[in-house]
Structure 1
């Protein structure tokens, strides 16, 4: 094969995990919105430089824009070679892409190949990759989803984490979305990815699953925080086998106190989130919950939230949205110790 080779995403996909590096040659802002999972950002033009060259292109012409852009491109690629890849051996195999698979990735792939590395350029760039992801999520592979159901605080997320830890196949949508899936689900200091990045992460997980083995997933709603689960994936989940996790009210309160410790330490942040429930519960009830949070009555507040908000919402929606829930296994947790979750996970993994 002559390098740099220009290949379609369909040709690259079977070998995607074999590349030593996936290099996104787009700007920092483009990379932040979405990228091929596992890619590193090595901009051929940074955000400011791209605006400068693009403005010249529109206002003056292609020739003048290229005269300004070429030295910037050359300097940036040289810096990346010196700082990122100077120690790479001759058989180091990178995949390079930009927005459309044109000048930016072409320039980088050309130089990498001239050095002697077997560089591959993605034909069609990020746009070709994104089209593949969108099509794949519209018709996802047939997988044996096992949907872990249960009221808020019953330990669904911990069970998924434990299943993942013992080698089961897990699609943890809340982890991918950086959100716990409720009005209080925002994770401190961890912003949610963009919608496109969320879809990329889901696609990347789905493509790696063995269809002969079950895939455990939580009974999510259509939205996890601000992000929407792809419709076809949600439809498959909602028609799948369910497992109902059961835990006593007392232990659910304990578990939520542990999981939402950041709110216990910052009642003002908690009260800001509770304000989103005014339309459902009225100002007087929210003010009463504010007072409980301010007064340190957190176990009592969590108990009321379960009884008056979370449990009724769950019961209204679960039978309607997950049609197999009444036929599923009921799995009772005696406590919330690590051993309890390990035992439950091993039981499900072995089934």
Structure 2
């Protein structure tokens, strides 16, 4: 048998060297988090794991192993028929499971017997996760950041998207987190990743960047919805140069009505989310906002949310947490449109 075993640290540094990275865990384990770019070939599916586990507890380890072996063999045969028959001899997969290596080892053994060069991750996903967490602070510290600051509705996300479209290095934390980073930031129909998956997405993005070029990033707080930005990245952001994106109030309201159109289309959903501000703004204020929203006054409610709630909180947080905020260079687009942000991005990159 010629299966090679490598450490999780080595796997992190060599991910791009393999033809494919295969996660042999169940669909549920894979969905929670996986190595960047990995595909899922479950040796046991979620329901099968439950059945085998129940047999282990209620009958015996021996009986559970017999059933598990039959199910694993059946699933691996399916993967081989579906995924492997067209692979050339030079195909070199990296395979891992949770920790012990039984699920990945079974798959690796068959692939090795076919004649492929197979590599296994020692310690599996658990070791990979520990290695990634240890690597994140130094990876975050390797880069130079330009922090895009600006009050709610000033177009920070649109500017980041415009910069990325023109080839700049952009770390869009809200995009990676599937959340717009406020009480109203939930995106309908788009669940947030787990904390582990969020960390992995950040790690993969940082790893792809050139340290000789700046990374543009938004002035996020420690949490983006339900997930937390890694401490090493937060520290690097907060000590970095800032750019202050300025947009007139009318333009900010218009931008928010466009970006949060789902609130305009579903007023009750909007009112339900406003309820989360009761503790901060008081019951009477929130009930007034809800009544006005239901009466067609969404724009006026958005304006008040900006002026009375979001702006004071944001400015206080920026002055407290971002060391170079007071020295921020002001950048101002001609308007809130995508085209205006694209024009600003071109100017920024031309003068960088």
Question: TM-score, normalising length from structure 2?
Answer: 0.96
Local SS of the residue matching 2:141? coil
How far 1:282 sits from its partner (Å)?
1.0
**In the TM superposition, what are the counterparts of 1:301-340 in structure 2 within 5 Å?**
301-340=301-340
CA deviations 1:97-117 (Å, max 9, x no partner) are: 100151100000111121122
How far 1:58 sits from its partner (Å)?
4.5
C-alpha contact 2:158 2:338 (8 A) present in aligned 1: no
Runs of 4+ in 1 over 6 A off after TM superposition: none
**In the TM superposition, what are the counterparts of 1:22-171 in structure 2 within 5 Å?**
22-139=21-138, 140-171=140-171
For 1:201 and 1:337, how far apart are their aligned partners in 2? 28
For 1:327 and 1:180, how far apart are their aligned partners in 2? 26
For 1:339 and 1:49, how far apart are their aligned partners in 2? 52
C-alpha contact 1:101 1:126 (8 A) present in aligned 2: no
How far 1:59 sits from its partner (Å)?
4.9
> How many correspondences in the alignment?
350
Alignment RMSD (CA, Å): 1.5
Q: Which moved more, 1:263-272 or 1:313-322?
A: 313-322
C-alpha contact 1:156 1:245 (8 A) present in aligned 2: yes
For 1:323 and 1:169, how far apart are their aligned partners in 2? 22
Number of the residue aligned with 1:19: 18
For 1:11 and 1:134, how far apart are their aligned partners in 2? 14
Unaligned runs of 5+ in 1: none
C-alpha contact 2:12 2:132 (8 A) present in aligned 1: no
Q: Which moved more, 1:262-271 or 1:321-330?
A: 321-330
Local SS of the residue matching 2:212? coil
Q: Which moved more, 1:196-205 or 1:331-340?
A: 331-340
Unaligned runs of 5+ in 2: none
Question: TM-score, normalising length from structure 1?
Answer: 0.96
CA deviations 1:136-185 (Å, max 9, x no partner) are: 12443321011000000000000111111111111110000000111111
